[in-house]
Structure 1
Amino acid sequence: MFGLPGGMEWVILAIIALLVFGGSRLANAGKNAGKAIREFKEETSSLKKSDAPEQTTPQVPTATPTTTAEQTPQVYDGEIVNEPKDKGQQA
């Protein structure tokens, strides 16, 4: 009963859109849609052409002898997390 619009329905929809939005707005919308599709294709093709991304290892700062135990950061998989100063309950 309800399916995709056929040939005559598309013509009626196009006429209604032309009357509602006007010719210049529809032309600009089509132009902008074309630019967006073109940019998307360029970006995806450049991603396909590029080699494997460079794998960089995160640089972990080393502790200097002047730091105390409270100031020394804990390092987990390249992420620096400072220890909390209050060792009690934390919400």
Structure 2
Amino acid sequence: MMFRNALEPWHLVLVIIVGVVVFGSKRLPDAARALGKSARILKSEMKAMKEEEQQPTATAQAGQGQPPAQHTLQNLPGDAK
């Protein structure tokens, strides 16, 4: 087994130290906030795709003459307006 102890606590500490050295302690919260925002957007888009797949095929066939509906991104909590 090559990956038996693939992720140990000291690996996480090493990643944090490298992150602080590369980005600096002042930019790290901004980077984490941007990563969280991206994760929320990805989650909402995945949910929209799942809801779109779950729609009955009868409604999709009834609206064949109409163009597909446009999806808009909603403001997430914490977004600047």
**TM-score, normalised to structure 1's length?**
0.47
Higher relative CO (Cα under 8 Å, sequence separation at least 6) belongs to 2
Q: Report whether the alignment pairs 1:47 with 2:45.
A: no
Partner of 1:88: none
Uncovered stretches (5+) of structure 1, i.e. residues with no partner = 58-91
Higher Rg of the two aligned structures? 1
Q: 1:43 to 1:13 in 2, by over 3 A?
A: closer
Q: 1:33 to 1:17 in 2, by over 3 A?
A: same
Partner of 2:69: none
1:38 corresponds, among 30, 37, 40, to 40
**TM-score, normalised to structure 2's length?**
0.51
Partner of 1:5: 7
Higher helix share: 2
> What count of residue pairs does the alignment treat as equivalent?
57
Report the alpha carbon displacement of residue 27 of structure 1 after superposing the two structures with TM: 1.5
CA distance in 1, matches of 2:17, 2:2: 21
In structure 1, the residue corresponding to 2:26 is in which secondary structure? helix
Any residues of structure 2 matched to 1:12-91 within 5 Å, and which?
12-50=14-52, 51=55, 53=60, 54-56=63-65
Report the alpha carbon displacement of residue 18 of structure 1 after superposing the two structures with TM: 0.7
Q: 1:13 to 1:43 in 2, by over 3 A?
A: closer
CA distance in 2, matches of 1:9, 1:49: 38
What percentage of aligned pairs have identical amino acids? Answer: 28
RMSD (CA atoms): 2.6
Q: 1:32 to 1:9 in 2, by over 3 A?
A: same
